[in-house]
Amino acid sequence: MIFSLARRHLSVKISFLLIPLLLLGLGAFAWFLVASRAQVVERENLRKAKTAAIVGAEGMRHFLEGLISSGVFSEEELFDRSYRKITTGDLAGTKIPKYHTSYDRYFDRTIRDFEDAFLTDESIVFAVLVDVNGYLPTHNSRYAQPLTGNEDKDRVGNRTKRIFNDPVGLKAARFIGSPEQPVLRQVYHRDTGVSMWDVTAPVIVQGKHWGGFRIGLSMARTEAEIIRLKHTILYASVVFALLMIIVMVVVVHRATIPLKHLTLAARALANGRQQEPIELSSQDEIGELVNSFNQLQLSLERTTVSRDFFDRIVNSIHDLLLVISPDGELIRLNQAVLNILDREEKDLLQRSIRELFRDKAGGQSWFGRLQASGRLEAEDIFMRDKDGNELAMSLSASPLYDEQSRIDGYIIICQDNSRRVRAER
């Protein structure tokens, strides 16, 4: 049904051509808007995580160097890599081994509050100091909860004093950095299933690489925000597309109304009915078309008046007037022919003139002479009416020429010759 309407209505056809282009344009715009917004959010998250990692690394550098300078720990103690597996106490016997160092208990008391301060930003999942081997002496409070005996809960609830030697953890711990790349960003899925960014800045203590300060940034909120943005843009695009489609259909329909009037007027003109000129003040192509049609209709009207006038003249002639083709086929007859033969025009058109006329000898030599010379002057001839009666006529014929000056037919004039023939007899 839709395709049938598109074939019969120009407005529907134009709308169906424009609507896919509109939807394609809206889709491209929506994709660009979501992509650009996602890039903005990504840059903002990276800036935030980068700042937090650098601040954390600098804070830890000052803290560790302060411990050495104040004599709390020696440099050797702070760079202790002899990790001692915990075998007694609450942290013993966990599925994932935990370790003590010379400084880990002190760090529990001193740096946990500093690390927890970064977690005031809900998108930051963890902020921790790790050494070059991935050892994490002190985790944030939320990940240093007492053990429950449930391995799944404890794997998340107590992650302190572990060695994170996974590829992401080791790469973060061993990242040294440079002025061109002060932080390292890694994108991964945490073992808890959360999509994460790991942003690390190196911690340099008295010129030696101690480890790094890791910021774990959850992408859950960002991804949820992007999904909400996609849905918002999708709904807005659908509403906008529907409104635009309605506006487009209305505008196209109104723009094609003159064409509908033009079609009706042309159909009426083809059926021989004159119409009033179409009123349209537009100066565009449709306006020019309507103006041309109005001029054509006026010209045809004048031509029709002239033709009617000519027909009245021809039919008022008392002599018989016939128009024939080069082969003698009747093309046009005036009223005098129909009156004298007492026949209808439709009964005679496209019949051969030889059926109506014969010469004195009873043959058709007159027609051969006409074709040979192109003209005849006062040729005596006999015309046969529908009852078979023969009427004496004086026939004259002249050629009709086409645009290439070739004979396209003949005009024949016949006058009643009965009196002269009777006088001769």
| Contact between residue 41 and residue 33 where contact means Cβ atoms under 8 Å apart | no
Q: Are residues 182 and 42 in the same domain?
A: yes
Read off the tokens for 223: 């991804």
| Contact between residue 108 and residue 128 where contact means Cβ atoms under 8 Å apart | no
The domain boundary residue, chosen from 168, 190, 225: 225
User: 99 — alpha (psi -120 to 50), left (phi > 0) or beta?
Assistant: beta
Task: State phi, psi for 124 to the nearest 5 degrees.
Answer: -90, 115
Task: State phi, psi for 131 to the nearest 5 degrees.
Answer: -90, -175
Q: Are residues 278 and 344 in the same domain?
A: no
Burial class of residue 211 in the structure, from the number of CB atoms within 10 Å of its CB (0-12 exposed, 13-18 middle, 19+ buried): buried
Alpha-carbon span 337 to 397, nearest angstrom:
15
Q: Are residues 214 and 345 in the same domain?
A: no
Does some domain include residue 255? no
| Contact between residue 216 and residue 126 where contact means Cβ atoms under 8 Å apart | yes
Task: Give the closest residue to 211 by CA, choosing from 340, 300, 78.
Answer: 78
Does some domain include residue 80? yes
Would you give the DSSP letter of residue 10? H
Does some domain include residue 234? no
Instruction: Determine the 3-state secondary structure of 382 from DSSP.
Output: strand
The pLDDT, as a whole number, for residue 271 is 60
Render pLDDT for 368-420 as a digit per residue (tens, 0 to 9): 888 888 888 888 888 887 777 888 888 899 998 888 888 889 999 988 887 77
Give the chain's domain count: 3
Give the other-Cβ count within 10 Å of 24's Cβ.
10
| Helix residue ranges per DSSP H, 92-173 | 104-110, 112-117, 151-157, 167-173
Give the other-Cβ count within 10 Å of 227's Cβ.
11
In the chain, pLDDT over 70 holds for what percent of residues? 81
Task: Give the closest residue to 169 by CA, choosing from 208, 136, 124.
Answer: 136
User: CA dist 106 to 27, 56, 64, 73, 81, Å?
Assistant: 58, 18, 12, 10, 16
The domain boundary residue, chosen from 225, 250, 266: 225
Does some domain include residue 261? no
Read off the tokens for 84: 């001692």
Q: Are residues 330 and 308 in the same domain?
A: no
Q: Are residues 307 and 419 in the same domain?
A: no
| Contact between residue 73 and residue 67 where contact means Cβ atoms under 8 Å apart | yes
The domain boundary residue, chosen from 208, 225, 242: 225
Alpha-carbon span 417 to 46, nearest angstrom:
116
Residue ranges making up the domain that contains 170 = 21-225
Q: Are residues 321 and 278 in the same domain?
A: no
The pLDDT, as a whole number, for residue 227 is 77
Q: Are residues 219 and 96 in the same domain?
A: yes
Ranges of the chain with pLDDT below 50 = 5-6
The pLDDT, as a whole number, for residue 165 is 92
Alpha-carbon span 192 to 196, nearest angstrom:
10
| Contact between residue 50 and residue 58 where contact means Cβ atoms under 8 Å apart | no
The pLDDT, as a whole number, for residue 424 is 73
The pLDDT, as a whole number, for residue 136 is 96
Q: Are residues 308 and 371 in the same domain?
A: no
| Helix residue ranges per DSSP H, 10-148 | 10-69, 75-78, 104-110, 112-117
The pLDDT, as a whole number, for residue 4 is 56
Does some domain include residue 218? yes
The pLDDT, as a whole number, for residue 129 is 97
Render pLDDT for 17-45 as a digit per residue (tens, 0 to 9): 777 777 788 778 778 877 888 788 888 88
- Indicate which CATH number applies to the domain containing 129: 3.30.450.20
